[in-house]
Amino acid sequence: MAYDFDLFVIGGGSGGVRLARISAGHGARVAVAEERFWGGTCVNVGCVPKKIMVNAAEYSMWAEDAAAFGWNIENHGHDWAKLAAARDTEVTRLSAIYGKLLVGAGVTSFEARAIFLDAHTLDVGGQRVTAERIVVATGGHITRMEIPGAELALVSDDLFTLKAMPRRVAVVGGGYIGLEFACLLRGLGAEVDLFYRAELPLRGFDGDLQTAVVEAMKAQGIGMNSGVIPTRISQMEDHLMLSLSNNAMREVDAVFSCTGRAANSSGLGLEQAGVVTGKAGEITVDAEHATNVPHIYAIGDVTDRLNLTPMATAVGHALADTLFGNNPRHASYENVPTAVFTSPPIGTVGLSEEDAALRGPVDIYLTRFTPMRHAMSKREGRRSMMKLVVDQQTQRILGAHMLGEDAAEIMQGIGIAVAIGATKQDFDRTIGIHPTAAEEFVTLRTRTRVAGLQEAAE
């Protein structure tokens, strides 16, 4: 059968666009459909605009700390509208680049929803299109709280359309989005309380990181409310009333619901193609990212494996090389560096102490210190934490974790070392760059503790 395209990609986010461009570069006839905005969540209502606002929030602290270094800076307050306009201009520019990249690569673009009619046929904005191979790269969507008044809560997307910053804010959720929003809103001047179900936020992260970030957020005046969840949101005359599971009530101007995301798979007609999904709607794939229908694939957040933009991009590139580049390969899901842009930020790669200990004995190297900037500023809550998790037998670095300024930038380089299997001795013989915080990673000489002995014995 002759198909209209060799490859059709549903979703114009980072993963889908990379897959389409590289495939077209290998000579394939490629089309992409995107119904909302080019660049996906990350560029438009995620990583990029959020990081811009994180950057904006940092200036408040820097302006205050400048006096310790001899500067006399007057803070006349923050202009939310000016920030929003600059942010939106940059987002528009980046989003447009994605469309231009596809045109330059010779990819056919559809600004429409694509729905399966059968395993090789799609309805794309009312047009019938066929493809030999189809890849679903539709990302995820926000999930909302299931409580009375949930419709009164804002979600993460709403941060980027607010005309003014709310003065009193409740943020619900202990994941990275909730923590990042709490920190950036606090940095911009809001009164912020964070509510989360567990004892510590950032489930799945290293335990020392979890504890350290709570301390840091408390020090900047964020209310950290563990084991507490909302039960109702009520509209009052000029504010909201938040009812809580501990029978307390809180008056706020806004509630941000940051309680999670789910695979964006509904309404695609997957059942018409025979594609199987999991209990939460995620598309189930094998090691090749193929679904149960061999010529239909899925990548990125819609698979709910490791929901990071660079991971989706890497997988998209590898799949393009595999399908059309005569270079079968995989993008590894192990040792993927990532960051949480709290204040201060988190950088992490590899296994947490808790996960590593389940595999056998590990040596833990841990340091807490005040970076030079804040030895001068005397600002509380800015202590850095650095940690290495080392396999006791092989001395390989299994995990590296940091809370502190520039953690994300530092962890990118550490991520290379962990990915290639560097040992503690490799770190030890590396000369540190002085004076920096980063040099601590190569000057950790005294083992803090051993973990995992009991697990290994069992």
Q: Residue 15 — very low, low, confident or very high, per pLDDT cuts 50/70/90?
A: very high
Tell how strand 30-33 and strand 140-142 pair up.
Answer: unpaired
Domain ranges for the chain, please list them: 5-142+262-324, 150-259, 338-457
The 10 Å Cβ neighbour count of residue 435 is 8
pLDDT above 60 (res 454): no
Q: What is the mean pLDDT of residues 112-124?
A: 98
Six token digits for residue 114: 């694509």
pLDDT digits (tens, 9 = 90+) for 212-251: 999 999 999 999 999 999 999 999 999 999 999 999 999 9
**Fold assignment, 338-457:** Enolase-like; domain 1 (3.30.390)
In the CATH hierarchy, which fold is given to the domain comprising 5-142+262-324? FAD/NAD(P)-binding domain (3.50.50)
What is residue 458's predicted lDDT score, i.e. its pLDDT?
A: 45
317 is annotated as an active-site residue? no
285-340 per-position pLDDT tens digit: 999 999 999 999 999 999 999 999 999 999 999 999 999 999 999 999 999 999 99
Name the percent of the chain lying above pLDDT 90: 98
Q: What is the CATH number of domain 150-259?
A: 3.50.50.60
Give the tens place of pLDDT for each residue, 54-81.
Answer: 999 999 999 999 999 999 999 999 999 9
Residue-wise pLDDT for 238-295, tens only, equals 999 999 999 999 999 999 999 999 999 999 999 999 999 999 999 999 999 999 999 9
C-alpha distances in angstroms, 176 versus 196, 204, 338, 343, 347?
12, 11, 11, 12, 12
What does pLDDT average to over the chain? 96
Mean per-residue pLDDT, 354-381: 96
Looking at the chain, the whole-number percentage of residues with pLDDT higher than 70 is 99
* Catalytic choice (26, 289, 401, 434): 434
At 1 the pLDDT is 77
Task: Quote helix, strand, coil % in the chain, to nearest 5.
Answer: 35, 25, 40
Cβ neighbourhood burial of 34 (10 Å; 0-12, 13-18, 19+): buried
Could you give the count of Cα atoms lying within 13 Å of 215 in the half-sphere of its Cβ?
15
Same CATH topology for 5-142+262-324 and 338-457: the answer is no
Q: 447: pLDDT confidence band, cut at 50, 70 and 90?
A: very high
What residues contact 37, with CB distance under 8 A and at least 6 apart? 12, 43, 44, 95
pLDDT at 457 exceeding the cut of 80: no
- pLDDT computed for residue 381 by the predictor: 87
pLDDT band at 32 (very low <50, low <70, confident <90, very high): very high
CA 410 from chain centre, in angstroms, equals 17
- Cα separation, 105 vs 98, whole angstroms: 11
